[in-house]
Amino acid sequence: MKRMKRVVAIAAAAAMTASVMTGCGKSGGNEPAANHGGASGEVVSVDFWTAPQQVQYNFWESKAQAFNEAGITVDGKKIEVKVQQMPESPSSEAGIQNAIATGTVPAVSENINRGFAATLAASGAVYDLSGETWFTDVIEARKMEDTITNWAIDGKQYVLPVYVNPMIWQWNMKALKALGFDSAPKTVAEFTAVITEFAAQRDTTMKEIGVTHSFYRPSLTRPDQWWDRWYDFQMPYEALTGGKPWVEGNKLVLDKEGAVEAFELIGLFGNSIQSGEISSIWTEANPSVLVTINAPWEISLYRENNKVYGEDYIYGQAIVKNDGDIPYNFADSKGLVFYKNKSITDEEHAGAVEFVKWVYNKENSAQTDLDWLNATTMLPVRGDLNDNEIFADVMKEYPELAALAEAVPYAIPSIATEKVTDIQTALTESGTAPYMNEVMNAEPGNAPDATPYVEAAMEAMKQAGGLE
């Protein structure tokens, strides 16, 4: 999970625009009234925790400073936001849970994925946002109407998504062309054709250009790296099933046929999978694999090593059954939550809401998300990244980001259960690990039958997660 925390700034865009933003409408309904300025002299201090990454701290600190300077008040009291990084040891999730237990949790924090949000929601530690007018307004301003449905937890919304890394395929463009393909495969049939051709030319053309393996994935047999099932199981599963869920509440609703197809898609690589650890495949002069699962956080690293998108590598959509199917994928995505705790006053909560409203309101949201993109190179969760003129210059300069942005509307976050670790560990122990042992004895293009492994995994997942 360490790599999920890595943030790499694009060198040419590392200087973030810390614009002073304007515009904050009055709160509606029964919410406290917010205004600019105030004469009471009273101050409400709001704690905001960022991810344990300096670049994200810098981003939110600049927004807090701009907000504080705007002098916004709630019920006559000035709101001041104080920013700090959340504790990282032993994990940020553990740090938050400890803060909740000790009454030191902030009013609001970022860095929360859907799975951990489900844990927090189950214990009543965070607010449901789905009935809030301001939340609906932010969703509309960021064109997130389709995306936000995938964040629901038992029909409610607890997270305001901030960023998303759509996890799709990353292809060695030179190797694809050497095999006779001008673009990345989209369907199972096209994918199979590429792998079959790789097998035919493995000891000739591929060997000549230094490509020794079809796919790099050392963690498929490792239960201790359960989080990687988000990328190598959930990503293909979502695309092959039309975005079907696999856990809902206390029920395992995994589509068995879709799970078998997802297993067997990986199984097509056969014994050409590179299962040994390699530090950085894509920065090598001649990458030794045909394809990996993408790592959007490494974009600037590729550029530093003179790798050109479209020439050295390209992103390929999640593989679908038939041409025209929606290429759903996994969303490596996190967002903001508001905490419920006896140590947080109603005024502090209202102030936290006012800050987030101000950052993401209709007037400010696009600039906020542009600043975020420039600071972190991680795509903001928006439905108009390739259509909104404000992002045009960045997308033109970085076609790799534009390619990833096309996958954002179809990105589905992690399963919403507090038992995610147990469930995905069981999936690995009883499913992917033993299946890969058979795969590694098969020739590329001939995936072994995954049915018994999926059946065993489903039973183990039920037991581990206490699921029906």
pLDDT digits (tens, 9 = 90+) for 247-266: 988 899 999 999 999 999 99
Q: What CATH number is attached to the domain comprising 358?
A: 3.40.190.10
Residue 381 belongs to domain spanning = 43-165+332-412
Q: Same structural domain for residues 284 and 321?
A: yes
> Which amino acid would we find at residue 74?
V
Domain count, the chain: 2
Q: Is the pLDDT of residue 5 over 50?
A: no
Residue 40 is predicted with a pLDDT of 53
Final residue before a domain boundary, out of 393, 412, 431: 412
Residues 55, 100, single domain; the answer is yes
Does residue 307 share a domain with residue 343? no
Those residues whose C-beta lies under 8 Å from the C-beta of residue 409, and which sit 6 or more positions away, are 146, 147, 383
Instruction: Determine the Cα–Cα distance for residues 452 and 450; give it in Å rounded to an integer.
Output: 6
Phi and psi angles of residue 381, each rounded to the nearest 5 degrees, phi first: -80, 95
Residues 345 and 288 in one domain: no
> Same domain, yes or no, for 430 and 450?
yes
For residues 274 and 289, is the Cβ–Cβ distance under 8 A? yes
| pLDDT band, residue 92 (cuts 50/70/90) | confident
pLDDT, mean over the chain = 90
Question: Does the pLDDT at position 159 exceed 60?
Answer: yes
Confidence (pLDDT) at 91: 82
Give Rg (Cα) of the chain. Answer: 23
Residue 3 lies in a domain: no
Please indicate, yes or no, if residue 62 is contained in any of the structural domains.
Answer: yes
pLDDT band with cut points at 50, 70 and 90 for residue 141: very high
For residue 43, list its beta bridge partners. Answer: 78
Residue 2 lies in a domain: no
Give the range among 204-208, 218-222, 280-284, 416-420 with minimum mean pLDDT: 416-420
In a domain, 13, yes or no: no
Would you say residue 465 has pLDDT above 60? yes
Q: Is residue 385 part of a domain?
A: yes
Strands 43-50, 108-112: pairing is parallel
- Determine the Cα–Cα distance for residues 358 and 27; give it in Å rounded to an integer: 11
Contact between residue 131 and residue 156 where contact means Cβ atoms under 8 Å apart: no
Q: Is residue 67 part of a domain?
A: yes
Q: pLDDT digits over 25-40, tens only?
A: 333 334 555 555 444 5
The stretch 215-243 carries a mean pLDDT of 95
Q: What is the pLDDT of residues 182-195, one digit of tens each?
A: 999 999 999 999 99
Residue 124 one-letter amino acid: G
> Which pLDDT score is estimated for 35?
58
pLDDT at 379 over 50: yes
Q: What is the dihedral sign for C-alpha 103, 106, 111, 114?
A: positive
Report pLDDT digits (tens) over 45-74: 999 999 999 999 999 999 999 999 999 999
pLDDT at res. 8: 37
| 7 vs 44: which has the higher pLDDT | 44
Rounded CA-CA distance 356/270 in Å is 48
161 and 174 in one domain?
no
Is 283 within a domain? yes
> Does the structure show a pLDDT above 80 at 311?
yes
User: What pTM was computed for the model?
Assistant: 0.83
Averaged over 353-371, what is the pLDDT? Answer: 97
| Burial (CB count within 10 angstroms: exposed 0-12, middle 13-18, buried 19+), residue 39 | exposed
Asked if residue 197 and residue 94 are part of one domain, the reply reads no
Task: Tell me what percent of the residues of the chain surpass a pLDDT of 70.
Answer: 91
Given 412, 430, 445, the domain boundary residue is 412
> Do 117 and 75 fall within a single domain?
yes
Q: How confident is the model at residue 297 (pLDDT cuts 50, 70, 90)?
A: confident
The three-state (H, E, C) secondary structure of the chain, written as one string: CHHHHCCCCCHHHCCCCCCCCCCCCCCCCCCCCEEECCCCCCEEEEEEEECCCHHHHHHHHHHHHHHHHHCEEECCEEEEEEEEECCCCCCHHHHHHHHHHHCCCCCEEEEECHHHHHHHHHCCCECCCCCCHHHHHHHHHCCCHHHHHHHCECCECCCEEEEEEEECEEEEHHHHHHCCCCCCCCEHHHHHHHHHHHHHHCCCHHHHCCCCEEEECCCCCCHHHHHHHHHHHHHHHHHHHCCCCCEECCEECCCHHHHHHHHHHHHCCHHHEECCCCCCHHHCCCCCEEEEECCHHHHHHHHHCCCCECCCEEEECCCECCCCCCCCEEEEEEEEEEECCCCCCHHHHHHHHHHHHHHHCCCCHHHHHHHHHHHHCCEECCCCCCCCHHHHHHHHHCHHHHHHHCCHHHEECCCCCCCHHHHHHHHHHHHHHHHHHHHCCCCCCCCCCCHHHHHHHHHHHHHHHCCC
Tokens of 337: 């939550």
Provide the 10 A C-beta neighbour count for residue 365.
21
Higher pLDDT, 181 or 383: 181
The residues near 135 (Cβ < 8 Å, ≥ 6 apart) are 129, 157, 160
Is 196 among the domain residues?
yes
The CA-based angle 440-442-444, given to 5 degrees, is 100
Query: What is the model's pLDDT at position 391?
Result: 95
pLDDT of 112 above 70:
yes
- Asked if 63 and 198 sit in the same domain, the reply is no
pLDDT tens figures, 196-213: 999 999 999 999 999 999
Residue 33: the pLDDT is: 55
**Domain check: are 283 and 424 in the same one?**
yes
Same domain, 342 and 404: yes
Q: 141-155, 347-361, 426-440: lowest mean pLDDT where?
A: 141-155
Share of the chain above pLDDT 90, in %: 81
Same structural domain for residues 191 and 161? no
